[in-house]
Amino acid sequence: MQDFISKLLANKLVEARELLEDRLDDLIDEKLTEVKALIAADMFDYDLNEGNVQKMGRLKLVRVRIRKGKVQRRKKLSNIKGYTTRGGVLTRMPPMERRHRKLAARMSRFKRRAKMGQALRKRKMSLRRRSSMGL
């Protein structure tokens, strides 16, 4: 960025323009690879969930999923925002429960990010140890 500004101040507009175009090309390439990765991830998630979830009117049936290390089979969930299943019947969630769920989701988002950072750090250390041992 300093080069660009110094070229502008020195009135070397052609060189400044080339620097700007190069930087823009780099940014476009970076963003394009990010978007491609996001699209690929969305397609993969969609295909994975599509075969496992069956829509049944106001309910959806998740055939198999793993929660807390246990396998849940044929789990019925609400297909409508703001509703939940209680005793196999759809009921409207009270505003307090919706607020608590929203706050819990926000807190767990940050906690999940921190835990992932720890896991990545530990994996990196393990891989470094393995490479130093020649494995």
pLDDT at 50: 60
**Element spanning 73, H or E:** strand 70-78
75/60 Cα distance (integer angstroms): 8
What's the chain's Rg over C-alpha atoms? 25
Q: Look at residue 3 and tell me whether its pLDDT is greater than 90.
A: no
- pLDDT tens readout for residues 12-67: 888 888 888 988 998 998 898 888 888 877 665 544 456 788 888 888 888 887 77
Per the model's pLDDT, the better-predicted residue between 1 and 104 turns out to be 104
pTM for the whole structure: 0.43
Name the token pair of 88.
């196999």
Instruction: Please report the pLDDT score of residue 48 as a whole number.
Output: 46
- Model confidence pLDDT, tens digit, residues 101-125: 999 999 999 999 999 999 999 999 9
Q: What tens digit of pLDDT does each residue of 73-96 get?
A: 888 889 889 999 998 889 999 999
Question: So what's the pLDDT on residue 43?
Answer: 65
- Sketch the domain layout of the chain as residue ranges: 2-48, 57-93, 94-135
